[in-house]
Structure 1
């Protein structure tokens, strides 16, 4: 008879070591884990090297891709936590309904006639919620709050009258091909803020670029020329806002200035010539800027491929 297979299952910082016969089914493994963690099989999600993407409960451990000594991370909420999530979702739905009813009762807002304080209340993220069943929800909430409070983001939201009901996150294992999603033209924006292995968070600047992309979907659903123009404008306005706060674009200088000027042309907008920096030959300035433009265009194309938002808004 073959020796047992040893598995090391990590769940929320606790390591569970199991030894099972090689002909054990995947369902039997899930049953053992339910006894240890109280997470039912229907809620269990697994991350591990070599595991099949689709595993049947009747598959043996070997057929599922499990090897002796393998380390697997398990994710998933308990029934009690699911109840809490359901209650939170019901409360959020109640708040959203109240906000919609209030918006319907208010007169249509006209630019530059209301107070800045009322604009701040309307054009913002009205709720923030990390996914409670993923690791470190407090850190995820802090990152989402940082995005919501980002002065440059708040600036473009008020300038373009963007309002978002909920800012939340996408789970990498549930949406492996997506970086962002805008639901119903601003009802929710979901961002991929975590690394694939759940051992940290993606770079803030990269997440914020995805956020600008998804905010553009408040107006345009498809990635057409109108979308590209507005997306380019939002990125340009973020850069200009931060440059002004830093003391003015004329004092930036160096490669940072080249990057900022290049961003004004890329991201789907109209293109034009780029003026070389001082003490820089025109050919060198054009080559560096062209390289930056090409790189940023490729990044924006990747964002479009990783965006789950389609259709007219």
Structure 2
């Protein structure tokens, strides 16, 4: 339990990491297309919002540094809505990014029309709006636990949330929408992308074999390789870190004893929350220009201080 608590506290440091990633990517000097940059910035912002709402406000502030304001039922209910919006956007922005890279790599004719900054903006704005509307009912599923000076406090699920067919249908819809369908789509799109790349590579190797005397580089395949590494790193990290949470969704813990089931639930949430902090490190590992921009950002305060002292 102590390790799980420390993991939540450690996520505070990732708050600044995601902020730095947003600042660097927004400058557009990482060698990525404007379309890709737009998706990555949106993903980083959704991850940052999730860390603020789920980790800092809900888990750390609410449980370890409780504030009276956060315990008011209306505020608590609104907080849960924000958490679900942030989580859904984080998940589905990953799906939209995966689809964008699938189109860019596998659909050359559609690429010119779809893989643009304008399309990315429309897709991200539409996705965000849809999930804001989708999560509004969550606000109305709670009831206060107790009353203090005529002020309703804390949040508890209404009994009808477990018996009303409408709420039961909403819960099933939520489970399908996040993360079951995203899992299936990411695996499908990545599978199709791998298949296309392997086929294209075989064709290019065959064409090169006809010109044995030439030792030419292949800029197209190199570009696809870099795009593929970024895509598979982000989607692979998402799948691995959400896998235990997926098992939790399928109620695997029912087959465990009480202590093991409780630990299983905590680990599932811990790994899920960790997934909101990994993308920045993926950029560092896969994008040399991102690393250079980060180095420049870290050097800037010291260089500015030295220049100021010299003057």
Task: Name the TM tier (shorter chain).
Answer: under 0.3
Normalised by the length of structure 2, the TM-score is: 0.26
Normalised by the length of structure 1, the TM-score is: 0.26
| Structure with the largest fraction of helix | 2
Please tell me whether Structure 1 or Structure 2 has the larger radius of gyration of its CA atoms. Answer: 1
Q: Report 1 or 2 for greater relative contact order, CA contacts < 8 Å, sequence distance ≥ 6.
A: 2
| Structure with the largest fraction of strand | 1
